[in-house]
Structure 1
Amino acid sequence: MIDQQYKWYPVYTRSRAEKKAYDELLRKGITAYLPLKKTVKQWSDRKKIVEEPLIKSYLFVYISGREHAKVLMTNGIARFLYFSGHIASIPEQQINNLKLLLATDADLEVFDYDIRPGQRVLIKAGPFKDMIAEMVSLHNKQRIILRLQNMGYAIEINTSMGFVEPI
């Protein structure tokens, strides 16, 4: 039996197709939510504030079970997410909390990896760009301390999780 109850479902999009898929869903009359964050982009001649998806390749749809096929037949949509063999749904309160969080001007960063103390990382930006370091400690995933060893000394620096990736 098809579930007639409306729920929020996360859907995975093709790479960099989040906005087009979102617009297409709205054109089909499907309630969708694409969380966006404002980011400053730097070009050689200017800076511009652009809106990017908060979570790359994901958006959320509010549908009943009978609309699953309609969503999947939308340009840019790759698949639903599954958990324990069933299509995953998200409680409406979590979607509302995400909307409230994005309504503030909080500086948000989303990471799809987990770095633990003792793990080696590559610094991607800032004055220590391209250096390899060791994760020393993590403070709320906003501030981390890294130990640099490439210089012959162990130097601890503070940086953001957005500037490192595990190796």
Structure 2
Amino acid sequence: MEAEQGNWFAVRTKPRKELYAKTNFECQGYRVYLPMCRTWRSSARRRERVIRPFFPGYLFLYLLPHEQNWVSINSTFGAIGAVRFGNFYPPVPEYLINALRQREADSGIIELAPRRSSPFKKGQKVTVMIGESVVSGLFQEMHDDNRAIVLLNILKQQIKARVPIEAVTTYAVA
């Protein structure tokens, strides 16, 4: 006789209640996966590294067909309910869960890649290619790995813009 095959399902949780919901699901005997990551939190005077859910407001349950008691799952403390479309509860592909687990360090935390270091300094004069036009500006900061925030000089005004980093080059005097 073959073992029953289950599926992973996404469950929405109440805001900042992922760990509370996880504990309550585990107390009911469910297999729970709550991927966590290390991120920055800023407060009035300091910036610190904290561990938070990788998908805020969600966790995953592995359910065998006989465990798919949606009324019980949806009424678990800390949970809002399983993700569904009408009466259809879409399973989360196993490869997605496996890919998340493969990214975890030995601590069980998903280590995010550090932000790419900025190729420019804040306030540095740069030029930006916008279509076929070249616009001068001042580099402000990296927004993410692919975009930079630049103050563009357009019509004698500085306009803050988020542009692809590939479009930004050092200022060249003609």
Report the TM-score when normalising by structure 1.
0.61
C-alpha spacing 1:44/1:146, structure 2 compared with 1 (3 Å): closer
2:97 aligns with 95
**Structure 2: unaligned runs, 5 residues or longer:** 116-121, 124-129, 131-143, 166-174
Deviations 1:18-54 (A, max 9, x none): 1100111111111000111112334446554321111
Report the alpha carbon displacement of residue 91 of structure 1 after superposing the two structures with TM.
1.7
Q: What is the rounded CA distance, in whole Å, between the counterparts of 1:14 and 1:39 in structure 2?
A: 20
**Structure 1: unaligned runs, 5 residues or longer:** 110-126, 129-135, 161-167
Q: What is the rounded CA distance, in whole Å, between the counterparts of 1:49 and 1:74 in structure 2?
A: 30
C-alpha spacing 1:72/1:5, structure 2 compared with 1 (3 Å): farther
Out of 107, 110, 116, the residue aligned to residue 113 of structure 2 is 107
RMSD: 3.5
Matched residue pairs, number?
129
- Does structure 2 conserve the Cα–Cα contact (< 8 Å) formed by 1:80 and 1:88? no
SS in 2 for 1:19: helix
SS in 2 for 1:97: helix
1:10 aligns with 10
SS in 1 for 2:113: coil
- Does structure 2 conserve the Cα–Cα contact (< 8 Å) formed by 1:13 and 1:58? yes
Q: State whether structure 2 residue 155 is matched by structure 1 residue 153.
A: no
Q: What is the rounded CA distance, in whole Å, between the counterparts of 1:11 and 1:106 in structure 2?
A: 23
Report the TM-score when normalising by structure 2.
0.59
